C-alpha cells in the first residue's frame, strides 16, 4: 500500500519539477538577452569601429530615440518579472501555511485522541459508581426482585425496570405521555432518587460527546467514529435511560447529542422504547451503515445475576 501511494505521488512531484525547470530556463534566457543588449549598448563605439562602420553620436542619438517603444517594452517586461516573483513568493507562502496548518491538525488530532480515551476510561470507572435501588412500589409489584442497592451495569438495569414499571402504570391509567410528561416521570421516579451518581455519569457522557461534536479540526466521519466508541460502551438499558435523561432541562442540550450520535440505536425495545420513538427522530434509532435490531424487552424482573453493593 505504501509503495502504491509512493508511485502515485512521483508523477506529481516530477511534473512540478519539470515546470519549475522550464520557468527557470526562460528566466535565465531573458536575463542573458537583456545583458547582451546592455553590453552592446555600452560598448557600441568599439563594436562599430570593429566592423568599420562610421560612429557619430548625433545620428546614434536620433536612432536611439526610435527605441523608446523598446524601452517601454523592457520596462513592462521588468514589471511582469517583478509580479511573477511576487506571485511565486505568495504561492510558496500559501504552501508553507498549508503545511503548517496540516501539521497543527495532526498534532491536535493526536492530543484529542489521547484526551478522548482518557475520558472514555473515566466514563467506565464512573459507571461503576452508579447506584440504584428500586422503589417499594416496584418491589411490591415484582416480588422476585431483590430489594438491594445495585451498582454499575446492574444499577442501569434496575433503573430501566423502574422506568418501565411507571410507564406501564401511566398507560394502565389511560394517561398519554407527551415529551414533558415522560421527562418528568423519569426525573421524579428515577433521576432525583439517585441524582448524585446518575447525574454525574450522564454529565460526563455529555461533556465527552459535546467536545467531540464541537471540535473544529475533526471531520464528520472522525466525529462519528468517536461517537460510536462512546455508544459502544453503553448497554441497551443504559441507552434507554440516556434517552429519558436527555429529555429534561437539567440535561441541557444532551438531546442534540443523542440524536447526532444515534445513541438509541441499541436501546432495548419495549414500553420505554416505544415512548422514546415518539420524541426522537427515526435516525436516532438507526445506524449509519448497518442496522442491527435492538434487543427485545423481556419481562424478567428477577435479579439472579446482580452484584451486591459492597
Q: What is the helix (H) or strand (E) element at residue 227, kind and residue range?
A: helix 220-232
Residue 57 backbone class (left: φ over 0; alpha: ψ -120 to 50; beta: rest): alpha
pLDDT in tens, 215-244: 998 999 999 999 999 999 999 999 999 999
Answer yes or no: is pLDDT of 302 > 70.
no
Q: What is the pLDDT of residue 89?
A: 84
Residue 48 backbone class (left: φ over 0; alpha: ψ -120 to 50; beta: rest): alpha
Residue 27: pLDDT band (50, 70, 90) is confident
Residue 103: pLDDT band (50, 70, 90) is confident
Residue 280: pLDDT band (50, 70, 90) is very high
Cβ atoms of residues 271 and 297 within 8 Å: yes
pLDDT in tens, 285-294: 988 765 555 5
How far apart CA 151 and CA 308 sit, in angstroms, is: 8
The model scores a pTM over 0.85: no
Q: What is the pLDDT of residue 59?
A: 59
Cβ atoms of residues 148 and 308 within 8 Å: yes
Answer yes or no: is pLDDT of 15 > 60.
no
pLDDT, average across residues 249-268 = 94
Q: What is the pLDDT of residue 66?
A: 55
Q: How far is CA 48 from the centre of its chain?
A: 75
Residue 310: pLDDT band (50, 70, 90) is very low
Residue 10: pLDDT band (50, 70, 90) is very low
Q: What is the pLDDT of residue 144?
A: 87
Q: What is the pLDDT of residue 139?
A: 93
pLDDT in tens, 42-96: 666 666 666 666 666 555 565 555 556 666 777 777 888 888 888 888 888 888 8
Q: What is the pLDDT of residue 241?
A: 97
User: Is 150 strand, coil or helix?
Assistant: strand
Amino acid at each position: 500500500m505504501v509503495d502504491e501511494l509512493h508511485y502515485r505521488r512521483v508523477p506529481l512531484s516530477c511534473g512540478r519539477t519539470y515546470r519549475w525547470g522550464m520557468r527557470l530556463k526562460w528566466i535565465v534566457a531573458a536575463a542573458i538577452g537583456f545583458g547582451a543588449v546592455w553590453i552592446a549598448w555600452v560598448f557600441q563605439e568599439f563594436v562599430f569601429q570593429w566592423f568599420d562602420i562610421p560612429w557619430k553620436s548625433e545620428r546614434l542619438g536620433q536612432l536611439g530615440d526610435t527605441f523608446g517603444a523598446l524601452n517601454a517594452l523592457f520596462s513592462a517586461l521588468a514589471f511582469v518579472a517583478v509580479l511573477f516573483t511576487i506571485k511565486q513568493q505568495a504561492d510558496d507562502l500559501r504552501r508553507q501555511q498549508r503545511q503548517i496548518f496540516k501539521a497543527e491538525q495532526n498534532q491536535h488530532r493526536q492530543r484529542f485522541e489521547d484526551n478522548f480515551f482518557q475520558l472514555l476510561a473515566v466514563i467506565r470507572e464512573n459507571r461503576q459508581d452508579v447506584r440504584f435501588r428500586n422503589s417499594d412500589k416496584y418491589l411490591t409489584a415484582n416480588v422476585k426482585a431483590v430489594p438491594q442497592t445495585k451498582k454499575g451495569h446492574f444499577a442501569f438495569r434496575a433503573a430501566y425496570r423502574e422506568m418501565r414499571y411507571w410507564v406501564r402504570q401511566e398507560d394502565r391509567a389511560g394517561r398519554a405521555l407527551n415529551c414533558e410528561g415522560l421527562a418528568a416521570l423519569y426525573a421524579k421516579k428515577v433521576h432525583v432518587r439517585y441524582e448524585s451518581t446518575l447525574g454525574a455519569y450522564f454529565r460526563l457522557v455529555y461533556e465527552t460527546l459535546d467536545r467531540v461534536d464541537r471540535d473544529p479540526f475533526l471531520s464528520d466521519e472522525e466525529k462519528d467514529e468517536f461517537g460510536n466508541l462512546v455508544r459502544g460502551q453503553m448497554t441497551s438499558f443504559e441507552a434507554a435511560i440516556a434517552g429519558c435523561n436527555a429529555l429534561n432541562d437539567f440535561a441541557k442540550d444532551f438531546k442534540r447529542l443523542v440524536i447526532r450520535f444515534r445513541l438509541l440505536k441499541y436501546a432495548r425495545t419495549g414500553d420505554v422504547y416505544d415512548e422514546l420513538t415518539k420524541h426522537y427522530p427515526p435516525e436516532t434509532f438507526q445506524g449509519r451503515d448497518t442496522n442491527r435490531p435492538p434487543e427485545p424487552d423481556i419481562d424478567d424482573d428477577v435479579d439472579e445475576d446482580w452484584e451486591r453493593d459492597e
